[in-house]
Amino acid sequence: MENLVWFLLIGLVVGWLAGLIMKGRGFGIFGDIVVGVVGAMLGGWLAGVTGLVSYSALGGFVTALIGAVVLVGLIGLVQRA
């Protein structure tokens, strides 16, 4: 249960930061969590494809943030179309 709480909390922070970086605001609590969690999965996949895998907590956070920023960028492209 504690791992789930940390997972959601980190997803919230990553989603909020990605929203600030890409749009200047967040997506609300639940939206930030979803963007953070899905972005972390996307970032992990991108890191694996490019061979830039990190095993530290900071590296995982940065990977999740990069994935979330990419996800927010993709969401922006879809919303404009």
Which domain covers residue 36, as residue numbers?
Answer: 2-80
Mean per-residue pLDDT over the chain, rounded: 88
Which pLDDT band holds residue 61 (cuts at 50, 70, 90)?
very high
The predicted model scores a pTM of 0.87
- Determine the pLDDT at residue 69: 93
Q: What is the mean pLDDT of residues 49-57?
A: 89
- Number of domains the chain contains: 1
CB count within 10 Å of CB 19 equals 22
DSSP 8-state symbol, 56? S
User: What pLDDT digit, counting tens, does each position of 14-48 carry?
Assistant: 999 998 998 767 788 888 889 999 999 999 999 99
User: Of 8, 2, 27, 7, which is closest to residue 17 (Cα–Cα)?
Assistant: 27
Whether the predicted pLDDT of 49 surpasses 90: yes
Q: Which residues contact 40 (CB under 8 A, 6 or more apart)?
A: 10, 11, 14, 60, 63, 64, 67, 68
